[in-house]
Homo-oligomer: A and B are copies of this chain.
Amino acid sequence: MDEKVMLGHGSGGSMMKRIIDEVFYEAYGNDELLQGNDAAVLPAPKPGERLAFSTDSFVVTPQFFPGGNIGRLAICGTVNDVATSGARPLYLSCGFILEEGYPMADLKRICSTMAETAREAGVRLVTGDTKVVNRGHGDGVFINTAGVGVVPEGVSLGGEQCKPGDKVLVSGTLGDHGITVMSCREGLSFSADLQSDAAPLNHLIAEVLAVAPNTRCFRDPTRGGLASTLNEFADQAQVDITIEEDSVPVKDAVRGACEMLGYDVLQVANEGKMVCVVPADEADAALGAMRANKYGVDAAIIGEVGEMQPERGPKVYLRTAFGGKRILDMLVGEQLPRIC
């Protein structure tokens, strides 16, 4: 086996065939992928069902960090995006952009993690592509995944469906992923047990929908954190949203790191959390379903949807621990680049 990625591994020739056989098929070969044609052919959904389709690219640095690596992110990110529509994610594509000289052993570790995470989520990598760029023109490994899922009949979720009176839930502690990757990158060490929360949440979502069928929407607060997600919802539905600061679950280590570094934890990325808006009478059921899932034990009801004040437009408010109330804005620029 070659020890480093070389330009020839992206050639379309026999070196490429070798990396496909020895790395990708070895890690996650399956019937569809092994067909070896340019497109995977897959069974269609049943009548009444619809398709969900989403994509994400991953450029996180470093590629390995406590709690996961870029491969786990690449599976979870797209699985979660597809699942937010209420769909069962089924199939993923995977495009690698590798830099010449990247250690093949690291690529194998990433692929092995992808296979394991895909198994956990119940999805299959059915089609892929690999490009290699010259040394100095990439950054080790970038991964794109796209995902296809099936939306059951009657399920229709979206940020535009939030209504005044609805409750806002989050499935667990905020900021773990962003602070872990940043600490790892900067050589800071806040706490031994700080680790990325990257996780596939499709099962958690299905469990919530089973007991809270009128759920309005899910969204994973990744880049831009909870603040961006809530502002997107408010904007889509033309409503206000008010969050209780005290109710937002945050690990002590993450809170401490944010205070020290001047980050607002509500704007820090997560990769294994869901924000969910449900009618008030289904909130307790949704919370119970989240807490029963291993990725939702710290779930909480954190706020509610209100009427928008027409003269101000849609706003997100944070009621602080001291009883004050301030506008929670979307992040403008970038505080933690390349976190996913």
Which A residues are closer than 8 A to B by beta carbons? Answer: 6-8, 10-17, 35-45, 47, 49-59, 61, 80-85, 87, 91, 93-97, 126-129, 131-134, 136-139, 142, 144, 146-151, 156-160, 217, 219-220, 222-225, 228, 232, 236, 267, 269, 329-335, 337-338, 340
Contact = CB atoms under 8 A, between A and B. Distances in A.
B11 A223 contact: yes
Contact of A144 (B82, B84, B95, B219): B95
A44 B45 contact: yes
Contact of A53 (B82, B91, B338): B91
Contacts of A58: 131
Given A39-B149, A40-B52, A13 B334 contact: yes
Nearest to A83: B39
A82 B146 CA distance: 14
Nearest to A94: B55
A159 to B, nearest CB: 6
Given A8-B332, A59-B97, 7 more contacts: A11-B333, A13-B223, A53-B126, A97-B142, A136-B136, A144-B144, A148-B148
Contacts of A267: 13
Contacts of A37: 84-85, 157-159, 217, 219
Nearest to A57: B95
Contacts of A138: 137-139
